[in-house]
Structure 1
Amino acid sequence: MATTLKNNNSRKHNHHPFSLIIINLWLLSSSSLVGADADDQHLHPTSKHIIQTHYHTLQINSLFPASVCSTNTTPSTGSSKRQSTLEVFHRHGPCSQLGQDTDATITTPSVSEVLSHDQSRVDSIQAQVKSDSSKVKIKNTNSNPNKLKDKKANLPVQSGRSLGSGNYIVTVGLGTPTKTLSLIFDTGSDLTWTQCEPCARSCYQQQDPIFNPSASASYSNISCNSPQCSQLSGATGNKPGCSSTTCVYGIQYGDQSFSVGFFSKDKLTITATEVFPNFLFGCGQNNQGLFGNTAGLLGLGRNSLSIISQTAPKYGKYFSYCLPSTSSSTGHLTLGKSGVSRNVKFTPFASSQGTSFYFIDILSISVGGRQLPISQSVFTTAGSIIDSGTVITRLPPAAYSTMSAEFRKQMVKYKTAPAYSILDTCYDLSGLTTITIPTISFTFGGSVKVDLAPSGILLAVSTSRVCLAFAGNNNADDVAIFGNTQQKTLEVVYDVGRGNLGFGPAGCK
Structure 2
Amino acid sequence: MKEKGAATLPAIHGSVVGSGNYIVTVGIGTPKRKFSLIFDTGSDLTWTQCKPCVGFCYQQKEKIFDPKRSKSYRNVSCSSTVCSSLESATGNIPGCASNKTCVYGIQYGDSSFSVGFFAKETLTLTSKDVFPKFLLGCGQNNRGLFRGAAGLLGLGRNKISLVYQTASKYKKRFSYCLPSSSSSTGHLTFGPGIKKSVKFTPLSSAFQGSSFYGLDMTGISVGGEKLPIATTVFSTPGTIIDSGTVITRLPPHAYTVLKTAFRQLMSKYPTAPAVSILDTCYDFSEHETITIPKISFFFNGGVEVDVDVTGIMFPIRASQVCLAFAGNSDPSDVGIFGNVQQHTLEVVYDVAHGQVGFAAGGCS
> TM-score band, normalised by the shorter chain?
over 0.9
Asked if 1 retains the 8 angstrom alpha-carbon contact of 2:6 and 2:192, the reply is no
Residue 91 (structure 1) aligns with: 14
Residue 167 (structure 1) aligns with: 21
Q: Secondary structure at the match of 1:377?
A: helix
CA–CA separation in structure 2 for the residues paired with 1:337 and 1:193: 25
Matched AA of 1:505: A
Matched AA of 1:259: S
Give matches, 1:73-152, under 5 Å. Answer: 77-78=1-2, 83-93=6-16, 98=17, 108=18
Give matches, 1:331-346, under 5 Å. Answer: 331-338=186-193, 340-346=194-200
Given candidates 189, 200, 212, the residue that maps to 2:54 is 200
How many Å apart are 1:364 and its aligned residue? 1.1
Q: Secondary structure at the match of 1:497?
A: helix
Once the two structures are overlaid, the 10-residue window that deviates more, 248-257 or 294-303, is 248-257
Give matches, 1:31-42, under 5 Å. Answer: none
Q: Secondary structure at the match of 2:233?
A: helix
How many Å apart are 1:328 and its aligned residue? 2.2
Asked if 2 retains the 8 angstrom alpha-carbon contact of 1:429 and 1:466, the reply is yes
Q: Secondary structure at the match of 1:423?
A: coil
How many Å apart are 1:415 and its aligned residue? 2.2
Give matches, 1:228-377, under 5 Å. Answer: 228-243=82-97, 244-253=99-108, 257-338=112-193, 340-351=194-205, 352=207, 354-377=209-232
How many Å apart are 1:287 and its aligned residue? 2.2
| Uncovered stretches (5+) of structure 2, i.e. residues with no partner | none
How many Å apart are 1:254 and its aligned residue? 5.2
Residue 408 (structure 1) aligns with: 263
Asked if 2 retains the 8 angstrom alpha-carbon contact of 1:83 and 1:274, the reply is no
CA–CA separation in structure 2 for the residues paired with 1:507 and 1:288: 33
TM-score normalised by length of structure 1: 0.69
Given candidates 175, 178, 185, the residue that maps to 2:39 is 185
CA–CA separation in structure 2 for the residues paired with 1:437 and 1:258: 37
Residue 214 (structure 1) aligns with: 68
CA–CA separation in structure 1 for the residues paired with 2:11 and 2:240: 22
How many Å apart are 1:206 and its aligned residue? 1.6
Cα distance per residue 1:46-73 (max 9 Å; x no partner): xxxxxxxxxxxxxxxxxxxxxxxxxxxx
| Uncovered stretches (5+) of structure 1, i.e. residues with no partner | 1-76, 99-107, 109-164
CA–CA separation in structure 1 for the residues paired with 2:276 and 2:141: 32
Matched AA of 1:323: L
CA–CA separation in structure 2 for the residues paired with 1:419 and 1:174: 42
CA–CA separation in structure 2 for the residues paired with 1:256 and 1:347: 31
Matched AA of 1:234: S
How many Å apart are 1:86 and its aligned residue? 0.8
Given candidates 342, 347, 361, the residue that maps to 1:487 is 342
Question: Which has more helix, going by share of residues?
Answer: 1
Cα distance per residue 1:58-112 (max 9 Å; x no partner): xxxxxxxxxxxxxxxxxxx459x8751111111213xxxx3xxxxxxxxx5xxxx
Aligned length, in residue pairs: 362
CA–CA separation in structure 1 for the residues paired with 2:142 and 2:284: 42
CA–CA separation in structure 2 for the residues paired with 1:425 and 1:229: 46
Residue 458 (structure 1) aligns with: 313
Asked if 2 retains the 8 angstrom alpha-carbon contact of 1:459 and 1:466, the reply is yes
Matched AA of 1:467: C
Give matches, 1:1-12, under 5 Å. Answer: none
Query: In structure 2, do the counterparts of structure 1 residues 353 and 281 end up closer, same or farther at CA, with 3 Å as the change threshold?
Result: same
Query: In structure 2, do the counterparts of structure 1 residues 417 and 200 end up closer, same or farther at CA, with 3 Å as the change threshold?
Result: closer
Once the two structures are overlaid, the 10-residue window that deviates more, 438-447 or 287-296, is 287-296
CA–CA separation in structure 2 for the residues paired with 1:460 and 1:286: 33
Once the two structures are overlaid, the 10-residue window that deviates more, 428-437 or 414-423, is 414-423
How many Å apart are 1:255 and its aligned residue? 6.3
Cα distance per residue 1:188-221 (max 9 Å; x no partner): 1110011112223322222212111122111111
Q: Secondary structure at the match of 1:172?
A: strand
- Greater relative contact order structure (CA < 8 Å, 6+ sep): 1
Cα distance per residue 1:348-376 (max 9 Å; x no partner): 01011652111101111111111111111
Residue 442 (structure 1) aligns with: 297
Question: Which has more strand, going by share of residues?
Answer: 2
Q: Secondary structure at the match of 1:437?
A: coil
Asked if 2 retains the 8 angstrom alpha-carbon contact of 1:90 and 1:168, the reply is yes
Matched AA of 2:30: T
**What's the Cα RMSD here?**
1.7
Identity %: 62
Residue 360 (structure 2) aligns with: 505
Q: Which runs of 4+ in 1 moved over 3 A?
A: 254-257
Residue 81 (structure 2) pairs with residue 227 (structure 1): yes
Cα distance per residue 1:372-399 (max 9 Å; x no partner): 1111111111111111111111111111
CA–CA separation in structure 1 for the residues paired with 2:360 and 2:250: 23
How many Å apart are 1:499 and its aligned residue? 0.5
Residue 133 (structure 1) aligns with: none
CA–CA separation in structure 2 for the residues paired with 1:238 and 1:437: 44
TM-score normalised by length of structure 2: 0.95
CA–CA separation in structure 1 for the residues paired with 2:50 and 2:276: 36
